[in-house]
Amino acid sequence: MASVSITLFREKTVIVARSQGQEEVLATVKSNRILLPLGNKLRRETMIVRGRNLSDTLRFASLVIAEARRSSSLLDRDHPVDWKRLWHSSTLLQGAKPENDSWGAVFGNGSALFLPSPCPHIEILERHAAANGGYIDEVVLKSAAAELGGHECDVKILHASKAAVVTTLDDTGFRCAVQIRTKGAESAFSFSVPAKEKGVHFGTVLELAAHYVEGHNTSVFLEKVRGMVEAKQVVGSNITARDIESAIERRRALKRLIVNFEQDTSIRYRPDRPKFLVA
């Protein structure tokens, strides 16, 4: 079989209007974006999942895939998908506690299906991307900018993206490469699961990747707290004892979820098993 990949990108999109020699930033959107090529041979459904928090975005995408596996279509149903419920489920999945300003959005074949607050700039961009299979390139940026500007002003779209999680399926099984950040520095690791493992699909792997990302970030937070305690800087900060207790409990829960998966499958890591699992 030919390999199939699903990639989550960290993206920053800046919409700039130019008129009479002056420039004005109309909107700046930072988000994680993942394209899910779903549907069947008769009807392709290109689903785009966006979110502020990386692990929430992965879990949301995982649930979208799970929903698609229950039906031949996400867009043509007698009873439409309750996207709000699905997003709420993803943020509460396995006890996850998203940031207060966390948000998620879903687009299907260019149409906004779930968007917490109106964002016409991104809606237009996604509609133009849909004509390109959901991919954003220079042609898409120029066509979207032309529509945004109309006859009133010139608009340019500055768009930067970087792959953060890449999941690939081939004859040997799944491989997922994850970029993680620690104090401004980036590193990477990957895990692989053989094709023979039952019950493992793209959604499973994306959810597992979310556990790794959140587990790493939680450990970074706890390490920061430890340093603050040693420097006697915790008192007076906005970090509460409950924040610390919640982080410890959450890391313990994530480790348990991952260890359970390790016991049920023949998972392999490269170069090494994530440090927070052995801490």
Sequence-separated (6 or more) residues with CB below 8 Å from residue 83: 106, 113, 114
Q: What distance in Å separates the CA atoms of residue 60 and residue 87, rounded to the nearest whole number?
A: 6
Tokens standing for 51? 């979110």
Classify the C-alpha dihedral 163-164-165-171 as positive or negative: positive
Residue extents of the structural domains in the chain: 4-165, 167-277
CB 32 within 8 A of CB 183: no
pLDDT at 216: 94
Cα of 139 vs its chain's centroid, Å = 24
What pLDDT is stored for residue 39 in this prediction?
A: 81
Task: For the chain, list residues with pLDDT below 50.
Answer: 94, 98
Q: Are 52 and 101 spatial neighbours (Cβ–Cβ below 8 Å)?
A: yes
